[in-house]
Structure 1
Amino acid sequence: MRSMTQLFLIRHGEACILKDGIVNDYGLTELGVAQARKLRDRLVSSGEIQADVWISSSYLRAKQTAEIIAEGLKVSIILDDDFQEMRPGQALGMNKESLDELLALHNPRRNPFSSIAPEAENWPQFVLRVGTALERIFHQYEGKTVAIVCHGGVIDCSFQFFFGLNAFEMPKVGFHTEHTSITHWSKEEDETWSLIKYNDARHLEGSAVFY
């Protein structure tokens, strides 16, 4: 029987996005590092993700999370720009007050083609990028198990991709993807995809034990 493609999407740990009043990607907070270590320990203990390839968004918060996981699992990480969060363009480097003013005017549910700042992606561009990247990965690693350390928005886009939702509209439902949570998609024998689990972050719950 032909092996089926497995996809694990892992959100990064809590990130620091504000320093000295400036918004940027400053990597993980201390809590984010702790969250990533708890996930690493879970994966080492349980062996539940036996990935043939590990991929990470090249944004610092995802890269740092992936490096912590890789340290425990003794795996190599491939950085892939296409799994970055929605690109904010010139919003990066702004002071918080200026960005808050832009956010107050930005309503992507009403107009999905609007962007937060110059050079930033809008929602359809983001969905197209992530969907194209997923399609590329599935062709490249057909029948393999792939784990991708990425972002909440990328995981949102995976639902649009697999459920065939309109890429020109934001989803009617909201997602609240936990930091370092695991989302698992599996390709079935009939070539359809199934959602095995979403938002599995039980390693963050007290003193969880994994077997």
Structure 2
Amino acid sequence: MSTEQSPQEQSSAEQADAGSTAAERAPETQPEAADESPRDGSRKLLALLGGVAVVALGIDIVTKIAVVANLEGHAPVRLLGGVLYLDVLRNPGAAFSLATGMTWLLALLAIAVVGVIIWLAPKLRSPGWAVGLGLVLGGACGNLVDRIFRAPGPLQGHVVDFLSVFAPGGAIWPVFNVADSCIVCGGILVVLLSLMGRDYDGTVHRKKKAVAS
């Protein structure tokens, strides 16, 4: 019996070999496509974190400039029926007028916080963490700008506070600013995400249900 193949059979065999070769090569390109998705996601989260931080910082700087120019040295302004007062104070301490007299240490601490967030940013895989850390970053930078550029000097500048709730002068709650609010809101968001088992790298930890015996 002859084992020679007709031209049509040879053509079919060549096409089958080409198809199998293409199928073998296809998986080699999959990791490259898979690698692009996390990178794109990381870029988007970095943009989200940076955008939130820039907006928070911008609002903080603009509001401080406005209240210093128009309200400093004047009587407190009553808003929302007495729920909020605009009362400009210079704060040498931390948020809510804590740690007064340790301005230089607080400035260095703020620089350290900014550095940690910048180091952590490329590892983010969670939009919630990106928003939370963006708020903390913007708030920390807002108060840091005051400590560096305002009187009495670099790393000793007094932070401008101007928001007082329910009574002027911080009689009920310490006077604060937009940066303080951003730091607190961002910190609360990060803590809530942690309690829910959602890590900054996108990992979700679910509690194991107890197996009844």
Is TM > 0.5 for Structure 1 vs Structure 2? no
Q: Bigger relative contact order, structure 1 or 2, given CA contacts below 8 A and separation 6+?
A: 1
Q: TM-score range by the shorter chain?
A: under 0.3
Q: TM-score, normalised by structure 1?
A: 0.26
Bigger strand fraction = 1
Bigger helix fraction = 2
